[in-house]
Structure 1
């Protein structure tokens, strides 16, 4: 969709040249694949499909709410719309259109939650024109290598703060192409943060709302660790900044207003004998050191002035707003025609603004009119390598986090199922009933391994049978109902025999186990065996006597008497 901007026929020749150069650049040099891999975050295009792209053409027309699902879609948009600049917006819950921004639509109000922005990188924008009150080499959006020292110090302080204090890992640094630098924080924990959460992070980094507030901070007796770290970064370069920017000559009025009344009067008198900014700074440092030797409380005016001059000055609106539009890395800046390239924060002090490529320089190189060892071309290639390395490390880390999250979920599921199974087992172990009468005692399975019990003893067999009972009784009860079991297998005495060994256990019916006594000693098993033998012999004798006829001949009586004579080993007992 289009917003603003009108075509001026007088500008057509110059504009047509820029449009032609941008078309060649975006179709041949722009890192489309790497950019889309970065914005997909290893999720196979799920987030990319809901990411807003905004294209701005040479006449200032804006094409908002463009959504890309595939690299070919981006290529087609670049060919059709012929943009100069590409801006990146947030990730929406569902893709939006221009009509969704009209508040008068009732349907939009009902679906407002579904079409809201849910994710965006936490971006820190630092512009050089905010340092106009402490620099004299340039003003406004203009930037030179001397101005870059402020950017380098801000980058180094921010890099240390984000990584060490906030434990953030995936940070992409880019030059905007005109007047500042951008820090794209791509960690998942901050991309989905709300505006209030982003404000808290911003306040934690900035420390004060305005640079002038540094002179109102009460540091008491010592400085906090983040402030000490920032001062250690500033001090090696501050004397050079004072001398090159003329801090205590050009901007002397601003400096004097920041000092307390009594100290201001003394400093004005001291400065009358100094001519250069460096002399004034050395005298001022010596004067504050002298005051610290006499005063009870330490004075931190030297440190406050360093922080006021060089501490990062961040554009809070860009960082807080989740739906903010910002120029994409390697996009062309419409006003300077320079490429917004990525750079390594470890090499920020070696960043050369003169080597930042323009879209025309890259177009000329593609037409073979510039050698491949051209400084701008090499600078651009190094920036592409930095960007590709960042995206590769971030995607790998993102996939690793996703795999670890899935593994943790699986482990928690297994642990919960295991805990649930153990709780069910503990409940059913005490409530299981045996076939026949209920058991009054349910020994645990560990009783089988009770020390001191002989392995082949009857007691060992009983304990092992009870362990098997807990495992197999539910299945056997279903397979063999009690009504179908022969009565002789329900005899109590079968389990008391001392000849019962673990090798015989599989052949014993499960109904016998239900009537097993708690403990079977060897002596009781022996008495039970003798009783069984006596009962069997008496039963056999009774059955033979019942078969004798009423009248018996002597021969028959003799034969029967001979037949029923009991064995010698039990004759004395009968």
Structure 2
């Protein structure tokens, strides 16, 4: 990537905030109304300044105040927290018991590094179109579970700018969940604990020999993507280390030794070939089917950072911030096209400023406060605007009901 595209100097960031950052869009999304409400005025913002200085408990009356402070501080990024019982900026003047988080979007965080034990194409901070398949699979599973099992509808997925994705759920009921309720909900969705050290001991997904309904529902989808993602693109079982991991799931020692001998004698056998060897054996031994299902779950089921979701006072990076390592914008994504998304194709701050320069030279245009409309950032801002409109429509409906009841 050209160096100009990863320039995130203070000068570049300030231009980005002044001309491109969609403050009004962020306000509408968080506030759910055009007129400022407690959802915004009592909301915590936290800023990471140059030199890793961290500034918490900031709050603002409106989008203009937020923009003024962001441009004054010129942070490398900023984060969004809960709505408190009082304005966060007044925290020091309020007795401790009177300052507590009240509501907050239900959020989820999926990070590509949690897939390092199984992905073969990249490691650590790396991410490519191939390993994005893990994130896409996680999005499909979590999005469906949230909508079907919990009935929430106001979901927006946001690419983190480097190697992960965040989910923000803004349904009123979801925002009002207590910490204990959030913990229970994320516990229901969690099958794999990425913070625990991966071991050769096979996981136990079953209770009384059966998968819980949440995993049974997810498995139907995961079966459809296992072949392409795990066997073809990642080729997870091609190496000796890879197929030894696979054999850990088979409890019958004779079957394990037979397969190990076959695979050692034919080192060129692909992951698909090895999986087909297992399927042929399972066709005459149905007791092996649960083990194969467990493999599919272990290799494709979402790996959630549960701590992010459990607590209302957790801070999460705001959409449209710039990732300091990649220069990419943290953009909202359309779940219906998540499989086609290419993280390396996301606009960078350098690219956006070049687009502005080109437009300015062609048109001789004056600087505008919504210059994002003229750049490749527009479809992403439009996506969050449409989502926010749905939130505002919901508030209007509720107000009409209240008016009628009187």
Structures share fold, TM-score greater than 0.5: yes
- How far 1:191 sits from its partner (Å)? 1.0
**1:34 equivalenced with 2:22 (yes/no):** no
- The structure, 1 or 2, with the larger RCO (C-alpha pairs under 8 Å, 6+ apart) is 2
CA-to-aligned-CA distance 1:65-88 (integer Å, 9 cap, x gap): 111102221121122101121211
- Counterpart CA distance in 2 for 1:231 and 1:17 is 42
Match of 2:88 among 96, 103, 108: 96
Q: How does 1:253-402 map to 2 (within 5 A)?
A: 253-260=244-251, 262=253, 263-274=255-266, 275-292=269-286, 299-368=289-358, 379-402=376-399
Counterpart contact for 2:108–2:167, Cα < 8 Å: yes
Please say which structure displays the higher CA radius of gyration: 1
- How far 1:54 sits from its partner (Å)? 1.3
**Equivalent residue number for residue 184 of structure 1:** 168
CA-to-aligned-CA distance 1:285-307 (integer Å, 9 cap, x gap): 22222211xxxx56311111111
CA-to-aligned-CA distance 1:174-212 (integer Å, 9 cap, x gap): 000011001101111121211110011101222455688
Counterpart contact for 2:158–2:333, Cα < 8 Å: yes
Match of 1:244 among 233, 237, 250: 233
**Equivalent residue number for residue 158 of structure 1:** 142
- How far 1:133 sits from its partner (Å)? 1.0
- Counterpart CA distance in 1 for 2:125 and 2:403 is 48
CA-to-aligned-CA distance 1:348-385 (integer Å, 9 cap, x gap): 0111222201111111111117999xxxx865222111
Match of 1:62 among 54, 59, 63: 54
Q: TM-score, normalised by structure 1?
A: 0.62
**Equivalent residue number for residue 75 of structure 2:** 83
- Counterpart CA distance in 2 for 1:56 and 1:221 is 48
More helix by share: 1
**Equivalent residue number for residue 216 of structure 1:** 204
What SS class does the counterpart of residue 134 from structure 1 fall into? coil
- Counterpart CA distance in 1 for 2:342 and 2:361 is 20
Gaps of 5+ in 2: 363-373
What SS class does the counterpart of residue 395 from structure 2 fall into? helix
**Equivalent residue number for residue 3 of structure 1:** none
- How far 1:243 sits from its partner (Å)? 2.3
Match of 2:101 among 117, 128, 149: 117
Gaps of 5+ in 1: 1-13, 101-106, 411-574
Match of 1:230 among 194, 218, 238: 218
Q: TM-score, normalised by structure 2?
A: 0.85
Paired positions, count = 380
| Alpha carbons of structure 1 residues 17 and 186: separation in structure 2 relative to 1, 3 Å | closer
| Alpha carbons of structure 1 residues 21 and 288: separation in structure 2 relative to 1, 3 Å | same
| Alpha carbons of structure 1 residues 389 and 371: separation in structure 2 relative to 1, 3 Å | farther
| Alpha carbons of structure 1 residues 398 and 260: separation in structure 2 relative to 1, 3 Å | farther
**1:52 equivalenced with 2:44 (yes/no):** yes
What SS class does the counterpart of residue 10 from structure 2 fall into? helix
- How far 1:219 sits from its partner (Å)? 6.3
